[in-house]
Every structure is written in structure tokens, then in C-alpha cells.
């Protein structure tokens, strides 16, 4: 999977990315320590969790916390959501987003609480508003990309048309999740719709959906001609997937987990780290012998020390 048809460096609006395999923005998961780990394993770019532009402008401390970053991210990418062009531009011009090299607009989230507010994938049903949102964000002077789906419902796919709208409004890159909104995160990926988007525009196109392995990534590149691929849920179960895609040695999770736990605790505090790392340990151990019993024990742990001890025991049993 070498050469321009597979994994390689990529330039996006003057940003020189070391690798065209990205970590997707995932609400509740892609905080700074997790992004930093994935970048160290070979991801070329890693996005923050989805950030509300209204929350940002209203001074929400929780929203600001989602944008925590540091020296482990040489290039920084944030994802925002909203539907008011003025609010979106103001957020892009805010002090909180100033450190970010690329800002991605979410126009693909299928969750009802987002869609009912006219945000996320609801914007795929309102092309004029979507265009105004993108144009307003571009006028902030930031690099703007857009993540969207193949369409809202089966039979109404419009990835090529929406990609052209994004490019025309000034976006420097688009990511296409190869499923409609009604499919949420399940079902087969529509490779042809992603390929159609790639043929329709001159800006880089990132393919997202159903990539769990090197073989999956190869298939995605071959079937779509995409410039890059984006990894989502696979990274939660096995963050070393980035090393595997880059044909690098995969370090054991037993080494990665304590570092991630320590950095999460230092940044967010004991209680958040305990709850978050219980969740991450459950992901990392899923499908392994004794995983169900270990998950029950993990979710009864009340301290990070207990979480680390339980996870270490589980990793040792598997690696031993």
C-alpha cells in the first residue's frame, strides 16, 4: 500500500501531513491524551471531539475542556458543529480555536439531539444554509474542512453534489462517511458515493467508514481513489491500528495504557480519569479471554490505581 494510491504524506492547504491516515473526531473519546497516543503510533492528523460553537461563545468550561491540547500535537485539528453562520464564524475567530491549524465542520452527525437543532447531518437537507455556514467559517481566515455522509437516506445519496458545494464555499478538504444518516454507524460502506465525491472535486477527499485493518484501508483506497482514510471505532479497540497501517511494530497495550492513564489524570483529574480509563480498558480488552468478568471488575473500580492494576493484570494474562 505504497505510493499515491495508498499511504503517503499529504499536503492540505499548505499543511504538510506526515501520513494520510487520520483519527476521526469521536464524542466522548478523542481527548488530548488519546489523540497524542494515536499520533505517536502513526496517525497523520487527529481531531478533537465535536465542539459546540454556541457553547464555545457562551464560555462553557466543559466545551473549552474539549479543546485541551499540547506539544504532542505538532498539527492541531478541531471539529465544530452548529448551524448559525455568524456564530460559527465567531467561534472560528475565537481565542480558543486560534491554536488550531485546521477546523472541521461536522455536517454528518446522525444523533437526534443534534439533528433536531438543524445541526450535523441536518445541514445536508439544507444546501443553501450549509453553504453559508462554510463560507462564513472560511471568512475567518482559518483552514476549513467539512465532514458529511453520503446522504440522509438510502436512495437519496448526494455525496458528489455536497462535496462540490463544500469546495465552492471554500473548504480545503472534505471527509465522506460512506453511510447515510439513517444507517447511523452500521451497514455496508458505499464506496461508489465516496468515489463520486472524489471525482467531483479538486480538493483532498478523506474516506471514512468500516476501516478496521490494513486490508480494509487498502480496499478503501482502491475502491474510492480517496486521498486519505479516517479511522474511528477501530482506534478505540486497538489504537495500534495506526502502527499496523504504517507497517510499524505495534507496541503492546500494556505499555501504552499506563501512560495514557497518567496523562489523562494529570490533565483532567482523578475522577474523570478513573471513569474514562475504565471505559478505555474495556475497549482494549474486548474479545479477549475473561473480558466480560474483567469489565465488571473495572466498572466497580473507584480509583485510577485500581483501574491500572486490573488492566495490568488482564494484559499480563494475555501476553503471558
Exposure string of 13-43, with b = 16+ CB inside 10 Å and e = fewer, is eeeebbbbbbbbbbbebbbbbbbbbbbebbb
d(CA 227, CA 20): 7
Q: Which three cell numbers stand for residue 83?
A: 448551524
Sequence-ordered list of residues with C-beta below 8 angstroms from that of 164, at least 6 positions apart, any chain: 200, 201
Q: Which residue is catalytic, options 38, 109, 166, 274?
A: 109
In terms of DSSP H, where are the helices of the chain? 32-41, 53-57, 61-65, 85-92, 112-115, 127-138, 159-169, 191-200, 214-224, 233-237, 241-245, 253-268, 270-285, 291-298, 304-319
Is residue 214 within 8 A of residue 245, CB to CB? The reply is yes
Tell me what percent of the chain is helix, strand and coil, each rounded to the nearest 5: 45, 15, 40
Is residue 170 within 8 A of residue 144, CB to CB? The reply is yes
Other Cβ atoms within 10 Å of 2 Cβ, number? 8
Q: What single DSSP character describes residue 120?
A: G
Q: 229 in helix, strand or coil?
A: strand
- Angle separating helix axes 127-138 and 85-92, nearest 10 degrees: 30
Is residue 205 within 8 A of residue 194, CB to CB? The reply is yes
Q: Which three cell numbers stand for residue 262?
A: 497518567
Active site residue 68: no
d(CA 18, CA 267): 27
List residues with catalytic annotation.
109
Amino acid at each position: 500500500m505504497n505510493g499515491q494510491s495508498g499511504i503517503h504524506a499529504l499536503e492540505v492547504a499548505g499543511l504538510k501531513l506526515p501520513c494520510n491516515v487520520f483519527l476521526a473526531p469521536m464524542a466522548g473519546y478523542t481527548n488530548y491524551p488519546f489523540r497524542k497516543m494515536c499520533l505517536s503510533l502513526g496517525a497523520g492528523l487527529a481531531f478533537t471531539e465535536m465542539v459546540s460553537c454556541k457553547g464555545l461563545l457562551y464560555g462553557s468550561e466543559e466545551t473549552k475542556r474539549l479543546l485541551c491540547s499540547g506539544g504532542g500535537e505538532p498539527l492541531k485539528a478541531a471539529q465544530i458543529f452548529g448551524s448559525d453562520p455568524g456564530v460559527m464564524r465567531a467561534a472560528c475567530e475565537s481565542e480558543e480555536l486560534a491554536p488550531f491549524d485546521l477546523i472541521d465542520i461536522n455536517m454528518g452527525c446522525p444523533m437526534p439531539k443534534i439533528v433536531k437543532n438543524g445541526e450535523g447531518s441536518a445541514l445536508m437537507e439544507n444546501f443553501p444554509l450549509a453553504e453559508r455556514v462554510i463560507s462564513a467559517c472560511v471568512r475567518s481566515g482559518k483552514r476549513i474542512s467539512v465532514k458529511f455522509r453520503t446522504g440522509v437516506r438510502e436512495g437519496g445519496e448526494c455525496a458528489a453534489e455536497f462535496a462540490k458545494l463544500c469546495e465552492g464555499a471554500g473548504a480545503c478538504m472534505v471527509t465522506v462517511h460512506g453511510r447515510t444518516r439513517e444507517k447511523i454507524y452500521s451497514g455496508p460502506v458505499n464506496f461508489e458515493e465516496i468515489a463520486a465525491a472524489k471525482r467531483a472535486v479538486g480538493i483532498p477527499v478523506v474516506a471514512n467508514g468500516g476501516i478496521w485493518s490494513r486490508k480494509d484501508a487498502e480496499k478503501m483506497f482502491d475502491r474510492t481513489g480517496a486521498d486519505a482514510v479516517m479511522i474511528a471505532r477501530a482506534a478505540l479497540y486497538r489504537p495500534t491500528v495506526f502502527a499496523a497501517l504504517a507497517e510499524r511494530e505495534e507496541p503492546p497495550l500494556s505499555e501504552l495504557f499506563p501512560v495514557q492513564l497518567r496523562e489523562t489524570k494529570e490533565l483532567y483529574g482523578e475522577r474523570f480519569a478513573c471513569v474514562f480509563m475504565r471505559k478505555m480498558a474495556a475497549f482494549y480488552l474486548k474479545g479477549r479471554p475473561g473480558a466480560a468478568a474483567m469489565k465488571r471488575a473495572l466498572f466497580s473500580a473507584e480509583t485510577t490505581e485500581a483501574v491500572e492494576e486490573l488492566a495490568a493484570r488482564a494484559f499480563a494474562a494475555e501476553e503471558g
